[in-house]
Chains A and B, each alone.
Chain A
Amino acid sequence: MLRRTLLATLLIATPVLAQTSAVMAQPIPVGSVEILSGPAAAYGIAIKSGMELALDEVNAKGVLGGRKIALIVEDSAGQKDQGLNAARKLIGRDKVIAIIGPTLSTEMFAIGPVVNERKIPIIGTSTTATGVTAIGDYVFRTSLPESDVLPVTLKAAMARGVKTIALMYANDEAFAKSGFEVMKATADKVGLKIVAIETFGSKDSDFSAQLTKIKALKPDAIGLSALVEPTAGVLLQARQLGFGKETQFIGGNGANSPKLGEIAGPAADGLIVGSPWFIAKKDQVNADFVAAFRARFNKDPDQFAAQSYDALKILAAAIDRAGAADSEKVRDALLKTDYSGVMGAFQFTPGRDPASTSGVVVLTMQGGKFVVLE
């Protein structure tokens, strides 16, 4: 009898022992849903590059005493259904303990509730729309919402003598419309007088009717909320219609792309835009990041890569502090984040948004390139 019990104990204990050591060595699964194919793939690929760079640095040391993080990136193709399928696959099959992404705010509105219901933390690195973190207690974001960036930009414009503003935005883009709403609310709050509000479509090529109307009103500034292509189109046409240096152009987050200078050239000169990150920021962390990114990917990082680089490191640090690969503990640890990365000092508010706007830089276009506004 005794022998049998012993044998049984051994039989039970052996796999358990094997299992514990296997768990120790097992990598920690972390998922990500990004747009890797289709028209908006450029954003997702930049985000993926930023995460991969951070992952190498994290895994060189490991978390939780030497365990590696296994990052599984799934493609949403920018489509709601594929994004949902990807998130469910990551949670159900890959058993990820946290998710980074998705790329667009509209995708987050579809994916966020499902992930939140499963009590898995999800961290948006590029979701700037209002209401994203209100989805639930497990939805975080490291991207500064436009409501944090625009006040800094508009105040910089006011310091340069701007008193009246006309607003233009693309009304067929969630991102552009959300940016416009924030721009309007911010202008009201800081005391800028809005003289006109005009809309256009993201694929329009003729903005002359809207611009002519605005020109007659002679505003000190024009605020633009749209993706980079239509923003460049508006600027080019504005110069043709005779808008000169006396009008201050102010861009939303969409204008914050090197492509603006490539498309619009000298027409974009003088435009100002607020950015959570700038490639030429002088601190050591940023310089190291830019150098490492160039060495690995042979190109310059953009703000999306910078944001996701920080997000993965913030998550890795939270897993370490949580003391276990457990979603619930990681969520609590995330809330206690105190991190200093390429975007500057970083903490979460109790509402799971970024707490500080100290990293925001106001940039201006000069000769087709962004420089920090002096």
Chain B
Amino acid sequence: MMPAWLASDWTIPAGLDDFLWTYGHLINSLGINGLLALSMYVVLAVGQLSLGQAAFMGLGAYSSVLMTLTLKLPFYVVLPASCLVPVLFALAVGVPTLRLSGVYLAIATIGLGEVLRALYLNVDVFGGALGINGIPERAQTWMIFGMLILALLGLWLVGRSRIGRAMEAMREDATAAAVMGVNVPGYQLGALVASAVLAGIAGCLSAHQSSFIGPNEYGFEPAVTILSFALLGGIGTPVAPVVGAWILTLLPELLRGFSDLRLVFNGLIIVVAVLFLPHGLLGWRMRRRAA
């Protein structure tokens, strides 16, 4: 006789199925926030404090939703196309703003987010403050984690290559790196474009798994949340910011039991982590073979 687990035709057992449904949205959020953390990582890795990730995410979300709802395009076209608009914006915005650095760049990129928010509010196609609802659920968990793994692998390989070395040099001292022959503006623009691609795809995936998007999801607050992913995890390796994102995504759900004191514990854990681990939870750098 066949054992029961073989006879069951490889369907997922009821208990696990229930678990996956209950935490389905949370699991997907882990993947999406991981992608956003990587989009932050690529700019921080070249020493640029650019906070436009939420804005790029919003561009990816709105453009992909319009492609799905008005142009009726299939998702396998929409997903790759969702990074087009963010990349165009990154190129248009990147050339003038990359002359800025530090906190000035941060302010300019926050400005980009606010300009776009005003655009979503005032142009009818975007639904104004009411946002867009009735978005079909097209993003599957395997797609989200597939993208995350691809992005992690890609960034890891880049990080170990010559480019990674140049990026690290720029992060420590951009002037010194330029003197050594590193094409600093080129790498900076490249990082911004990569950041826009990752955030745009994350925006598309997140919009296609929750049926509603609104302009306030891509404003200043989410920009800071994405920055905190990288700050908590660290930016030594691409894995570190992803771990930071996972912790910050899981914490509010794990702490549901505390009900009223939830936010207090959430804040406390983050403060302790930042105080005692200033380089992030995973502070070590990528190992390379000697050249």
Interface residues of A (CB under 8 A from B): 36-37, 74-75, 77, 80-82, 84-86, 88-89, 91-93, 106, 109-110, 113-114, 129, 131, 170-174, 176-178
| Bound-state Cα–Cα, A177 to B212, Å | 17
Q: Contact between B131 and A109 (Cβ–Cβ < 8 Å)?
A: yes
A–B complex contacts, Cβ < 8 Å, 9 sampled: A80-B214, A81-B25, A85-B26, A91-B22, A106-B212, A109-B131, A170-B129, A171-B122, A177-B130
Having A85-B253, A178-B130, one finds 4 other A-B pairs with CB under 8 Å, namely A89-B253, A93-B22, A109-B212, A174-B130
Q: Contact between B128 and A88 (Cβ–Cβ < 8 Å)?
A: no
Closest to B210 in A: A110
**Cβ–Cβ < 8 Å partners of A36 in chain B:** 259-260
**Cβ–Cβ < 8 Å partners of A93 in chain B:** 22
Give the 8 A-B residue pairs with the shortest CB-CB distance, closest first: A92-B22, A109-B133, A109-B212, A110-B212, A177-B129, A84-B25, A174-B129, A113-B211
**Cβ–Cβ < 8 Å partners of A131 in chain B:** 133
| Bound-state Cα–Cα, A114 to B133, Å | 13
**Cβ–Cβ < 8 Å partners of B215 in chain A:** 172
B256 within 8 A of A: yes
B172 within 8 A of A: no
Number of A-B contacts (CB under 8 A): 82
**Cβ–Cβ < 8 Å partners of B256 in chain A:** 74-75, 86, 89
Distance (whole angstroms) from the CB of A36 to the closest CB of chain B: 8
Interface size of B as a range: 20 to 34
Distance (whole angstroms) from the CB of B119 to the closest CB of chain A: 12
Secondary structure dominating the interface of A: helix
**Cβ–Cβ < 8 Å partners of A37 in chain B:** 262-263
Distance (whole angstroms) from the CB of A203 to the closest CB of chain B: 12
Q: Contact between A174 and B259 (Cβ–Cβ < 8 Å)?
A: no
| Bound-state Cα–Cα, A109 to B207, Å | 13
B283 within 8 A of A: no
**Cβ–Cβ < 8 Å partners of B19 in chain A:** 92
| Bound-state Cα–Cα, A117 to B121, Å | 30
B142 within 8 A of A: no
**Cβ–Cβ < 8 Å partners of A85 in chain B:** 23, 25-26, 29, 253
Q: Contact between A82 and B212 (Cβ–Cβ < 8 Å)?
A: no
Distance (whole angstroms) from the CB of A167 to the closest CB of chain B: 15
1/0 contact string of B1-41 vs chain A (CB within 8 Å): 00000000000000000110111111001000000000000
Distance (whole angstroms) from the CB of B248 to the closest CB of chain A: 12
Q: Contact between A174 and B214 (Cβ–Cβ < 8 Å)?
A: yes
**Cβ–Cβ < 8 Å partners of A89 in chain B:** 22-23, 253, 256
**Cβ–Cβ < 8 Å partners of A171 in chain B:** 121-122, 128-129
Task: Give the one of B21, B24, B210, B215 with max A CB within 10 A.
Answer: B210
Distance (whole angstroms) from the CB of B112 to the closest CB of chain A: 17
Q: Contact between B210 and A80 (Cβ–Cβ < 8 Å)?
A: yes
Closest to B206 in A: A81
Q: Contact between A177 and B128 (Cβ–Cβ < 8 Å)?
A: yes
**Cβ–Cβ < 8 Å partners of B24 in chain A:** 88
Closest to A106 in B: B214
| Bound-state Cα–Cα, A89 to B23, Å | 7
